[in-house]
Amino acid sequence: MATETQGGDAAHGEGGGLVFHPMDQFIVKPLFGDGGVGLFTVTNATLWMALAVLCVIGLMVLGTSGRGIVPGRVQSVAELAYGFVYKMVEDVSGRDGVKYFPYIMTLFMFIVFANFLGLIPMAFTTTSHFAVTVVLALAVFLFVTILGFVKHGAKFLELFWVASAPLALRPILAIIEVISYFVRPVSHSIRLAGNLMAGHAVIKVFAGFAAIAAVSPISVLAITAMYGLEILVAFIQAYVFTILTCVYLKDALHPHH
Amino acid sequence: MATETTAESASACVGPNGSAIGMPQLCGEWVGNQVFWLILALVAIYFVLDRVALPRIQAILAERQGTITSDLAKAEELKAQAEEAERAYEKALAEARSEAQKIAEETRAEIRQQVQDAQDKADAEIAARTAESEKQIAEIRASALANVETVAKDTAEALVAALGVNADKSALDAAVDKRIEG
């Protein structure tokens, strides 16, 4: 992939042709024409987000259109996804968290499909961009914070007041708790985008090495191994994002430690 | 958007050779576009899931649960019926067995009675016949004895007459009687 793009104009300068452009895959470019990227421009990001939406519709709507008592292949996957997220919300956030299950399901389905679609060669990984993950994480953060204050009012602040700790320690703990609370969206978003970006960039670096005949078999093996790892990461990061959302939701619903 | 360094590229984040300058993730001019389309995508997924997919899957799962529950109940019912039928069968079998035993017992007693009756009758008949036969034998013996006396007396008379002795008949009879008894 990397070698293709460098073929034309990367020849000048380097003699061996060993040029790495691991970050080129993350460039956002318009799908039609060569103009700039405006707010409403249809870009490759638009395309791959739309594909994720179509995949969600395909799995969750078309896959279940049979409404079989004995599910088919696609329907059982859809039911598996439903049961997986539902159980996660119920177990982590509690019975009263089930009300917010559609929101969490939306996040999970989008992230998991964006991650897996990004693994298709030449694809654009929408979730590798901070712009995307920060919006997701901020949405969770704002939703959870507002929900906490709406549900408990000022008592929501008890989340930062560790009643079980010795009185002398409580103010210090409160400062730490507040800091950790506001760091949540940062870690929440960077974890997802960072994992995907790093994995995809490493695959590109290995692909760059494939240009040298002597190491290309090792390079291909390494790409294969990384790809397997990336499949794992694609699911695990979606899972981690979702379960952390459930944990934050639990804090908003039950702020007492 | 206007940049001095890139003449051919439309973006500040892409170099003249088409490769990225720095991390594309940190390129400010792409943020708005991605956020816009992301929100659109999320809203679309949310509506599809909330309005169509999730209620449908929930209904499917509930229906399946209902089917399983009712099937289990039906199976339980059928099992109870089968057990009941088995109990009835066992009961009928036991009744039939005891009935058969009773009938056999009765029949046996009846046959025994009949055999006993026949035997008694036969015994009585045998006894009667035996008595009759004995009586006849006794009669025969008595008549034979009488005949023997007569024959002996007649013979003795004839012998005596043949010897030329004119003997008294009564004396001869007495002598014969005496011989016979002796």
Average pLDDT over residues A88-109: 94
Share of residues in chain B with pLDDT > 70 (%) = 94
Lookup: tokens for B113: 């009675």
The predicted pLDDT at position A39 comes to: 84
What confidence score (pLDDT) does residue A7 get? Answer: 40
Distance in angstroms (rounded) separating the CA atoms of residues A23 and A1: 12
Chosen for mutation from A12, A41, A60, A80 (greatest number of chain B CBs closer than 10 Å) is A60
Which residues form the domain of B114?
A: 29-181
| Residue contact A35–B39, C-beta within 8 A | no
- pLDDT level of residue B10 (50, 70, 90 thresholds): low
Residue to substitute from A44, A65, A110, interface B, most B β-carbons within 10 A: A110
Domain membership of residue B11 (yes or no) is no
- pLDDT given for residue A17 in this prediction: 60
Interface contact B24-A27, CB threshold 8 A? yes
Residues of B in contact with A46 (CB under 8 A): 33, 37
Give the pLDDT band (50/70/90) at residue B123.
Answer: very high
Q: Quick one: CA dihedral A241, A242, A243, A249, positive or negative? A: positive
Residues contacting A242, CB < 8 A, separation 6+: A85, A88, A104, A107, A108, A111
Q: Angle at which helices A73-93 and A216-253 pack, to 10 degrees?
A: 50
The nearest alpha carbon in chain B to A47 belongs to B37
Q: Is residue B2 domain-resident?
A: no
CA distance A213 to A216: 5
**From the centroid of its chain, how far is CA B138?**
67
- Percent of chain A predicted with pLDDT > 90: 66
Three-state SS for A43?
strand
Q: Which residues of B touch A82 (CB under 8 A)?
A: 54, 57-58, 61
Q: What is the mean pLDDT of chain B?
A: 87
Q: Is the dihedral of CA A9, A10, A13, A17 positive or negative?
A: negative
Phi-psi region of B143 (alpha: psi -120 to 50; beta: other; left: phi over 0): alpha
Number of domains present in the structure of chain B:
1
In this predicted structure, the answer to whether residue B8 has a pLDDT above a threshold of 70 is no
pLDDT in tens, B85-108: 999 999 999 999 999 999 999 999
How far is A35 from A89, CA to CA, in rounded Å? Answer: 44
B16 domain residue, yes or no: no
Q: Is the pLDDT of residue B5 over 50?
A: no
Could you please report the per-residue DSSP string of B42-107? HHHHHHIIIIIIHHHHHHHHHHHHHHHHHHHHHHHHHHHHHHHHHHHHHHHHHHHHHHHHHHHHHH
Size of interface A-B (CB pairs under 8 A): 156
Residue closest to A29 by CA, chosen among B42, B22, B26, B19: B19
Residue ranges of domains in chain A: 2-253
Q: For tokens 């067995």, name the residue.
A: B97
Chain A hits for B1, Cβ within 8 Å:
36
Shortest Cα distance, chain A CAs vs residue B6, angstroms: 13
pLDDT at A12: 39
Taking CA–CA distances from A44, the nearest residue in chain B reads: B34
- Chain A residue with CA closest to B29: the answer is A37
**pLDDT at B179 > cutoff 50:** yes
pLDDT tier for residue A1 given thresholds of 50, 70 and 90: very low
Contact B57 A79 (CB under 8 A): yes
- Residue B60: which of A5, A49, A64 has the nearest Cβ? A64
Which contacts qualify for B57-62: CB closer than 8 Å, 24 or more apart? B57/A60, B57/A64, B57/A78, B57/A79, B57/A82, B58/A82, B59/A67, B60/A64, B60/A67, B60/A68, B60/A69, B60/A71, B60/A75, B60/A79, B61/A79, B61/A82, B61/A83
Is B13 an 8 Å CB contact of chain A? yes
ipTM of the complex: 0.87
A19 or A153, higher pLDDT:
A153
Percent of chain B with pLDDT over 90: 59
Mutate to test the interface with B, among A135, A142, A197 (most CBs of B within 10 A): A135
Question: Is the Cβ of B92 closer than 8 Å to some Cβ of chain A?
Answer: no
Task: Specify if B160 maps to a domain.
Answer: yes
Q: Is B20 helix (H, G, I), strand (E, B) or coil?
A: strand
Q: Nearest CA to CA, how far is B66 from chain A (Å)?
A: 10
Q: For residues B26 and A37, what is the distance between their CA atoms, to the nearest angstrom?
A: 15
Is the model more confident about A168 or about A7? A168
Burial class (CB in 10 A: 0-12, 13-18, 19+), A102: buried
pLDDT at B2: 42
Written as six digits, the tokens of A82 are 């439903």
How far apart CA A78 and CA A66 sit, in angstroms, is 12
Instruction: Give the pair of three-digit tokens for residue A11.
Output: 């020849």
Per-residue pLDDT tens over the stretch B27-40: 888 899 999 999 99
Sign of CA dihedral A116, A121, A124, A127: positive
- Residue B105 inside a domain? The answer is yes
Beta-ladder partners of A43: A30
Q: How confident is the model at residue A85 (pLDDT cuts 50, 70, 90)?
A: very high
Nearest residue in A to B10, CA atom? A36
- Is the predicted pLDDT of residue A216 greater than 50, yes or no? yes
Average pLDDT, chain A: 88
Question: What integer is the mean pLDDT of A26-36?
Answer: 84
Q: Is B11 on the interface with A (CB under 8 A)?
A: yes
